Structure 1
Amino acid sequence: MPRSPHDSGTTCRLHVSDEVRALAPGFGYLAVEAHGLTNGPSDEAGAALLDEAARRLAARLDGRAPQDDPHVAAWRAAYTAFGSKPSRTRNSAEALARRALADGGLPRINRLVDIYNAVSVAYLVPVGGEDLDRIQGGMRLVRATGDEPFVTAAGGAEAVEHPDAGEVVWCDDEGVTCRRWNWRQGVRTRLTEDSVSALFLLERMAPMTLDELAAAGAELARELRAACPDARIETGDIWTP
């Protein structure tokens, strides 16, 4: 059953603002929390997951471009609604799908990121991973004032940017963790090879069904357990407005 916007079913407190709910009433998310993870460099198992995900994506699209998929089209409409140009700043699932279909294929980042990227591509759903030990307070999905700090990388060094006023962002008590909903993750909370605890967020727009979202979350949990047998994985309830 859907829960309140203050209750994700996991220990990290999550909140979706009224402004975001009004903007996209078809939005929903599933949180998967993991503790006792063992991350590391990309390996053959992760590469196989990414390659299989690309094959599943190609079968799903059957020759269509990613933006012609109804779920991606719904995300594009949501981006347009808060003033972003979806062809310039694509949601994370569409961006990964385009890379999966290109000659270079999907990037290899690290074991944990490769796992959630594979799920994102296979189900064409935005998935993000945050280092729980670096999150300050709870996570909030809000429309930005424009003053919030966002730590990113520029020219190999950390730099601080600010979102546009009205932009939909995920943030914690220290600042923005992901800009334009799920377009670009900040460096402060991203998963590194040293990460041991993580919060994964799978985000959907109607017409993606809640059953499809649950299936994506279940596959993510299975792959995390396979890669990290000693980890404790908790899957929350699906949240919808």
Structure 2
Amino acid sequence: MTLTLTVSDEVHALVPGFTHLAIEARDLVNGPSDATSSALLDDAVRRLADRLGGRTPDQDPHVAAWRAAYSAFGAKPSRTRNSAEALARRALTEAGLPRINRLVDAYNAVSVAHLIPVGGEDLGRIQGGMRLVRATGEEPFVTVAGGEETVERPEPGEVVWCDEAGVTCRRWNWRQGPRTRIDEDTTDALFLLESLAPMTRDELLAAGAELADSLRKVSPGARITVRDPA
């Protein structure tokens, strides 16, 4: 069954240029990072450096647009960075990008290479459809703090992804909850690529096509469907 994805009118009103691309991947075989997924990450770091040409990630026009979107709903973009900027900043450090598992490596590589937020959710752990909304402040966000499971609440007006059980990602694409996270047992997954102007539709589709190709590399035999909302 295809997962339902909706973006609320309130979010579109807040940031009119927002669009997304969804990729459903089934029959995946995940596992620890390997030479193939590491090579994707290494190539992404090289491409990022070429793209920035000595600038910092926040000076990229797409990252700057995300900073403005965060400010629009009251977040401080220098403290809670969107996922693409956070990964890019880490990629440029001596430590470099982390190796998580093959599927996460694949979508992190696309995020860094294209400077676009990309998220991954385990389809088997999502309850009902997924919605991008402005929070009331009452929605539960189950996370882990100090090694213990805890429940947080988003700020009223905060942009969040949620399903029927609660928030799956806070501050749009800042921090994902562990409940729906992709791990080595994941076999079916949803990947979300999120863009703002000035990124064009063609650029968004190119990033999606690259992710689909990367998923086939790290998990041969996967059934992949690209869902373009346009």
Into which bin does the TM-score normalised by the smaller protein fall? over 0.9
How far apart are residue 145 of structure 1 and its match? 0.5
Q: Deviation per CA, 1:53-105: give whole Å up to 9, x if none.
A: 00000000000000000000000000000000000000000000000001100
How far apart are residue 215 of structure 1 and its match? 0.3
The 8 Å contact of residues 210 and 238 in structure 1, kept in 2 or not, is answered as: no
Mapping 1:51-90, distance limit 5 Å: 51-90=42-81
TM-score between the two structures when normalised by the length of structure 2: 0.98
SS at match of 2:64: helix
Matched, 1:50 2:41: yes
Alignment match, 1:195: 186
Q: Deviation per CA, 1:155-183: give whole Å up to 9, x if none.
A: 12221111001000000000000000000
TM-score between the two structures when normalised by the length of structure 1: 0.94
How many angstroms apart in 2 are the aligned matches of 1:140 and 1:17?
7
How many angstroms apart in 2 are the aligned matches of 1:14 and 1:82?
21
Residue-pair matches, total:
230
Alignment match, 1:23: 14
How many angstroms apart in 1 are the aligned matches of 2:98 and 2:144?
18
Runs of 4+ displaced beyond 6 Å: none
SS at match of 1:199: strand
Tell me the C-alpha RMSD between the 2 structures. Answer: 0.9
How many angstroms apart in 1 are the aligned matches of 2:70 and 2:118?
16
Q: Deviation per CA, 1:78-133: give whole Å up to 9, x if none.
A: 00000000000000000000000011000111110000000000000000000000
SS at match of 2:151: strand
Q: Deviation per CA, 1:185-222: give whole Å up to 9, x if none.
A: 00000001000000000000000011000000000001
How many angstroms apart in 1 are the aligned matches of 2:31 and 2:149?
22
Alignment match, 1:120: 111
Alignment match, 2:151: 160
Percent identity of the aligned residues?
73
The 8 Å contact of residues 149 and 175 in structure 1, kept in 2 or not, is answered as: yes
SS at match of 1:188: helix
How many angstroms apart in 2 are the aligned matches of 1:52 and 1:104?
16
Matched, 1:93 2:84: yes
Alignment match, 1:6: none
* Structure 1: 5+ residue stretches without partners: 1-9
How many angstroms apart in 2 are the aligned matches of 1:47 and 1:229?
16
Matched, 1:104 2:63: no
The 8 Å contact of residues 160 and 170 in structure 2, kept in 1 or not, is answered as: yes
